[in-house]
A = this chain, B = another copy of it.
Amino acid sequence: AASIITIGDELLIGQTIDTNSAWMAQELNKIGIWVKRRVAVGDSWNDIRDALNEESKQSQIILITGGLGPTADDITKPLLCEYFGGKMVVNEEKLQHVKYLFEEVLKRPLLERNLKQAEVPDVCKVLLNERGTAPGMVFEKDNRLYISLPGVPYEMKGLMTNDVLPMIQKRFPLLTIIHRNLVTAGIGESFLAEKIQDIEESLPENIKLAYLPNFGMVKLRLTGTGSNREETESAIEKYFLQLKERLRELVVTDQDLPLEQVVLELLKKNNMSLGTAESCTGGYLAHLITSIPGSSVVFRGSVVSYANDVKEKVLGVPDRVLNEHGAVSELTVKAMVNGALEQLRADVVIATTGIMGPGGGTTNKPVGMVWIGVGNKERVSTRLLQLRYDRSTNIQITAANSFNLLRQFILGEA
């Protein structure tokens, strides 16, 4: 098993959200390494040392990120040097690379402290970081592997992919770890659990079921582990199919992809283009879709009509509809769909309008009231949500429901 130690006060004061560990854990799982613990500690010699001591007791592979920069608050390198009883030496290959980076790529003068980036403990194997000045370092002690990587995600990912994962694959006996995910909508986790209780109780030791409620949906995850890939795969497949069959009418997707990507694939398959007309989601739908590489094949664009007269002028929502029914109404969301179909020349459009809070609610239209519309030239389907969360959660749940309504619309279920 592996432990991940992340270093930096910013993690402990809540200034930074740790996305590195999640990515690393995913990649480790793919090659069959289970992550047992993740620990975040501050820029403190004692705390880092304690963490190294403890994780050595728990895991054979200890991955460490952060604290490798050129400034005084970066203490990981000298600390590891001391911890493993080495002394600092200049790594010639890294030195050439740092010089090259500054002269050819960054085109900045090279400072003394940048040259220091090429110094490494003489008791480690250096991994050449092509994406930055901080080196990757591998230490061994008592049959444990300690791998130190920069905290900059782009640099960490390069080293993981090119060096660390292949190295671990060669060195350690690997498990097979397989995750299968089923996203459901429509009922809560308690009801789901009732529906599949017999299947859950029949699961063998090496297959675990987890319930992950999120955004008004519930994701079910089966995780199977074993030493034989084929056996593990066929075992998990059997139970996964049982769940899928039992929950047939509730399944949103059986792939472990964000919902927007499931929908994007569906649009591609049906050769349909998409546009969005967003009031309360404020561009979030467009952002989720355009975050996916290659989305330009399907996505035409969005009109984010935050102000009412943008709804009128750009989307052509009739003045009368806005005045008589209000911006948050079924008629408005329908008119937004039709306006965007026309303006964006899209085959199908999602529109949203609602009150995300904390302000802006009224007695008739309280915070959390949202209309979603999905339509093409022939028809428009709508859905009304009444949400009761904070602004950011309300936006995320609206997005999840919008993509699900689009999915149902394309499949003829809405």
A contacts, CB < 8 Å to B: 8-19, 21-27, 29, 34-43, 47, 50-51, 54, 58, 69-74, 105-106, 108, 111, 113-114, 152-154, 157, 177, 179, 188-191, 193-194, 200, 208-213, 221, 223, 276, 278, 281-287, 289-291, 293-296, 299-307, 309-310, 313-314, 343-345, 357-360, 388-393, 395
Q: What separation, in Å, do the CA atoms of A17 and B38 have in the docked complex?
A: 12
Nearest CB in chain B: distance from A99 CB, A: 14
Q: Which residue of B lies closest to A35 (CB)?
A: B12
- A16 touches which of B14, B22, B299, B300 (Cβ 8 Å): B22
A11 pairs with B38, CB closer than 8 A? yes
Q: Say how many copies of this protein the assembly contains.
A: 2
User: Which 6 pairs between the two chains have the least Cβ-Cβ distance?
Assistant: A282-B290, A283-B286, A283-B283, A14-B26, A14-B25, A302-B304
Binding site secondary structure of chain A: mixed
Chain B neighbourhood of A153, CB < 8 A: 393
B42 pairs with A36, CB closer than 8 A? yes
- A18 touches which of B17, B72, B177, B304 (Cβ 8 Å): B17
- A296 touches which of B24, B105, B179, B307 (Cβ 8 Å): B307
Given the interface pairs A18-B18, A69-B213, the reply to whether A282 lies near B287 with Cβ below 8 Å is: yes
| New A-B contacts (4) at CB < 8 Å, excluding given A278-B286, A290-B306, A291-B392 | A12-B25, A14-B29, A74-B211, A296-B360
Q: What separation, in Å, do the CA atoms of A408 and B283 have in the docked complex?
A: 24
Chain B neighbourhood of A213, CB < 8 A: 69, 152
Given the interface pairs A194-B113, A212-B10, A393-B153, the reply to whether A301 lies near B305 with Cβ below 8 Å is: yes
